[in-house]
């Protein structure tokens, strides 16, 4: 047996959900550029779960189901209020809350296709409420109920702030959700599939995926990018800041990707939304700093930005707390996790790889008094 560090280049399964071929990302054969420019997030959810785009009545039904299932049990809100708020990262709260939801779903252990689809709707709907409610409760505010006339993206922003967002805010957030929805066999998706390959339930699979997404080398990168932008402070400081970090061999978050070689195809869409939103807010410096950092870093390392880099200034411009950036990633990516979980169930085999042993050779037990 030969081992590959980080499973790089290893093909672990077959999937009809998304692909990355020659630096082109597709969802069920649709180029991400096509979807980002034309599709709503609800359409993408349907596409990932059904392997086709919805018809008008199917899309309307999905939207209605999502709105109907957004409320969560009062016990979940009460649970949030028990947390040591000043010490709990929102991803830890989300991980615990999704697991908690499973306790209140009478079909959580029902593994039929029908029950699993119902759970898919519930989890996708309620994750919006979990993130926004925690974001408000920790500030001493009450959760905001969704509005039936608003779409998924608009409801997230409304439930977080209590104010209906304007059109460009909805456009930016909806596009971000589309871009983050799935990404082939990334770390959190692989974690979800490993979990449910044991025939564990969907809540367990999503909880496991959230745990994987929490790390700064996966979902936490955009939060770190915003921290970096705040440290840079101005465009004039950007070049010296980056060169100093590189000289000290410190990692710059938001650049490069394990899979892409020519560049992340999602980044350009968020770059454009960052430009629009920062101008709308009169805070162009965040976009301008990002552009300068990109210029300096790519000149030094020849590594283009990934999807995390410009999503940071987009979310900041939407007035979202920086530590909610990764939970937002989960709000989108749960659509892909669920698609992969259902695909795993449909053609399951326990995922059990081997390890290349590097420890000592055969040893003989020695009694404790002789050691």
Q: Which of 300, 317, 334 represents a domain boundary (last residue)?
A: 317
pLDDT band at 127 (very low <50, low <70, confident <90, very high): very high
Tell me how many helices (H) and strands (E) the chain has. Answer: 16, 3
Domain assignment present for residue 139? The answer is yes
Asked if 152 and 178 sit in the same domain, the reply is yes
The pLDDT tens digits of the residues spanning 32-58 come to 999 999 999 999 999 999 999 999 999
Nearest Cα neighbor of 192 from 348, 323, 71 is 348
pTM: 0.93
Nearest Cα neighbor of 277 from 286, 265, 264, 268 is 286
Q: Is the pLDDT of residue 329 over 70?
A: yes
The pLDDT tens digits of the residues spanning 175-196 come to 999 999 999 999 999 999 999 9
Domain assignment present for residue 365? The answer is no
Least reliable range by pLDDT among 111-115, 256-260, 295-299, 327-331: 256-260
Asked if 313 and 328 sit in the same domain, the reply is no
Give the span between the Cα atoms of 211 and 201, in whole angstroms. Answer: 16
Distances in whole angstroms, Cα of residue 106 to Cα of each of 61, 109, 118, 205, 267: 23, 8, 11, 17, 41
Give the span between the Cα atoms of 316 and 320, in whole angstroms. Answer: 5
Give the span between the Cα atoms of 73 and 126, in whole angstroms. Answer: 10
Just list the catalytic residues.
257, 308
Nearest Cα neighbor of 133 from 95, 78, 96 is 78
Domain count, the chain: 2
């Amino acid at each position: 047996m030969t081992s590959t560090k980080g499973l790089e280049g290893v093909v672990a399964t077959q999937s009809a959900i998304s692909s990355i071929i020659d630096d082109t990302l597709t969802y069920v054969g649709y180029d991400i550029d096509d979807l980002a420019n034309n599709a709503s997030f609800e359409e993408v959810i349907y596409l990932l779960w059904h392997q086709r785009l919805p018809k008008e009545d199917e899309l309307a039904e999905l939207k209605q189901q999502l709105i109907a299932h957004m409320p969560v049990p009062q016990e979940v809100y009460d649970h949030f209020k028990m947390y040591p708020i000043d010490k709990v990262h929102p991803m830890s709260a989300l991980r615990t809350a999704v697991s908690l939801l499973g306790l209140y779903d009478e079909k959580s252990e029902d593994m039929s296709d029908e029950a699993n689809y119902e759970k898919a709707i519930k989890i996708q709907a309620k994750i919006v409420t979990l993130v926004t409610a925690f974001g408000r409760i920790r500030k001493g505010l009450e959760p905001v109920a969704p509005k039936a006339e608003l779409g998924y993206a608009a409801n997230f922003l409304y439930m977080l702030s209590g104010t209906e967002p304007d059109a460009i805010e909805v456009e930016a957030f909806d596009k971000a959700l589309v871009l983050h929805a799935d990404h082939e066999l990334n770390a959190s998706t692989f974690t979800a599939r490993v979990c449910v390959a044991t025939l564990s339930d969907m809540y367990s699979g999503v909880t496991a995926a959230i745990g994987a997404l929490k790390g700064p080398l996966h979902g936490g990168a955009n939060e770190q990018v915003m921290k970096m932008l705040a440290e840079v402070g101005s465009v004039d400081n950007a070049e010296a800041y980056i060169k100093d970090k590189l000289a000290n061999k410190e990692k710059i978050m938001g650049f490069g990707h394990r899979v892409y070689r020519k560049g992340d195809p999602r980044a350009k869409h968020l770059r454009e939304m960052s430009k629009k939103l920062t101008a709308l807010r009169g805070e162009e410096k965040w976009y301008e700093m990002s552009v300068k950092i990109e210029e300096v870093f790519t000149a030094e390392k020849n590594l283009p930005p990934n999807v995390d880099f410009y999503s940071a200034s987009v979310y900041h411009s939407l007035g979202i707390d920086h530590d909610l950036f990764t939970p937002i990633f989960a709000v989108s990516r749960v659509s892909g996790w669920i698609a992969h979980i259902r695909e795993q169930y449909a053609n399951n085999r326990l995922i059990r790889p081997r390890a290349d042993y590097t420890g000592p050779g055969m040893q003989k037990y020695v009694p404790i008094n002789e050691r």
